[in-house]
Structure 1
Amino acid sequence: MSQTITDIFRDGQDYMKIWPMKKELNSLFPEGRVISATKFSISVMPPVAVLSVFALVNFNGEHFIPQAIAVGAFFLSLPLQGLMWLGYRSKQTLPPAMRAWYQEIQHKMRLEGVVVSQQRSIPRYKELAILLKTAFNELDKVFTKQWF
């Protein structure tokens, strides 16, 4: 199952929207930090790229245009790197210990009467994100406290 680069970026954007940004998850998963850095870089890096290209060409002359373009391309690539990481991560299968934790959460949510999606035999991080978002939205803090 090969994906195009645009599919990976789209998966990264979807995963960024799905992942619950809760402080309880920050010590368990790097997603919170990557999402924060990616959102920051999406808003900050395009102006930084333009300013750096302008400054390099303005102060060093037109024969520095190739270096200026390289620096600008680097700054523009930073948000894409975050989206790419998130896209790949969303498609990875959960490790065995994490899979057992996923199944435990899903089972307890069903016992509480929360409607959850059908359990996959080999869940991915995207399914975990959906499950965790549902858990934080539907259940009270007393119930979710036992997991974190």
Structure 2
Amino acid sequence: MNISVVELIKLGREYMRLWPQRAELGNYFAEYQAVQICRLALRYLPGIALFSFIMQLYLGPITLLPQALIYSLFILSIPLQALLMLGVKADKFLPVALASWYKESVARVNEAGGSIKLSLHKPRFIDLAKLLNISHQSQNSHF
């Protein structure tokens, strides 16, 4: 469980990539909203940071350069913080009720002819994202 910050950010990025973009998951999992907010932050905040930097330099004197840099670096740090928090969440074990639902779902999919090779011993949130991703892909392939 001792993971470096860089590995946590990579894990958070993987967790975000695996989580399906299906709005109905928001009714069942709080992680859906966190993943959506992280995707939004990664998409728009770098542009906002650049805009903030340019506008502060354009509208103010050159003496505002340090202030403009600090604001921009802060805004740029928000997506990294979001990925870091997703990485921390992805590495946590599932609560007991959710873990039992996860194990039942893996067993149900494997009984129906699938061959999911996911962790059944102390599953983590990243394993849940993988299961949801696999089930989402299989639903899309039937249509």
Question: Scaled by the length of structure 2, what TM-score is found?
Answer: 0.86
Change (3 A) 1:103 1:42: same
Name 2:16's counterpart in structure 1.
16
CA distance in 2, matches of 1:49, 1:134: 36
**Structure-to-structure mapping, 1:78-117, within 5 angstroms:** 78-117=78-117
Q: What's the offset of the Cα at 1:63? A: 2.1
CA distance in 2, matches of 1:80, 1:52: 18
Question: Scaled by the length of structure 1, what TM-score is found?
Answer: 0.84
Could you tell me which runs of 5 or more consecutive residues in structure 2 were left unpaired when the two chains were aligned. none
Change (3 A) 1:79 1:117: same
CA distance in 2, matches of 1:110, 1:19: 20
Name 1:3's counterpart in structure 2.
3
Name 1:137's counterpart in structure 2.
137
Question: What amino acid does structure 2 have at the position aligned with 1:43?
Answer: R
Q: What's the offset of the Cα at 1:129? A: 1.1
Could you tell me which runs of 5 or more consecutive residues in structure 1 were left unpaired when the two chains were aligned. 141-148
Q: What's the offset of the Cα at 1:29? A: 1.7
Name 1:55's counterpart in structure 2.
55
CA distance in 1, matches of 2:139, 2:112: 9
Report sequence identity in percent: 27
Q: What do residues 55-77 of structure 1 show as CA deviations (whole Å, max 9, x unaligned)?
A: 22232212222221121012101
Q: What's the offset of the Cα at 1:139? A: 5.0
Name 1:71's counterpart in structure 2.
71
Q: What's the offset of the Cα at 1:26? A: 0.7
Compute the RMSD of aligned alpha carbons. 1.8
CA distance in 2, matches of 1:76, 1:139: 37
Deviates more, 1:5-14 or 1:39-48: 39-48
Change (3 A) 1:126 1:111: same
Q: What's the offset of the Cα at 1:50? A: 1.6
Name 1:42's counterpart in structure 2.
42
CA distance in 1, matches of 2:128, 2:116: 11
Kept after mapping to 2: 8 A contact 1:114/1:138: no
Question: What is the aligned residue count?
Answer: 140
Change (3 A) 1:68 1:119: closer
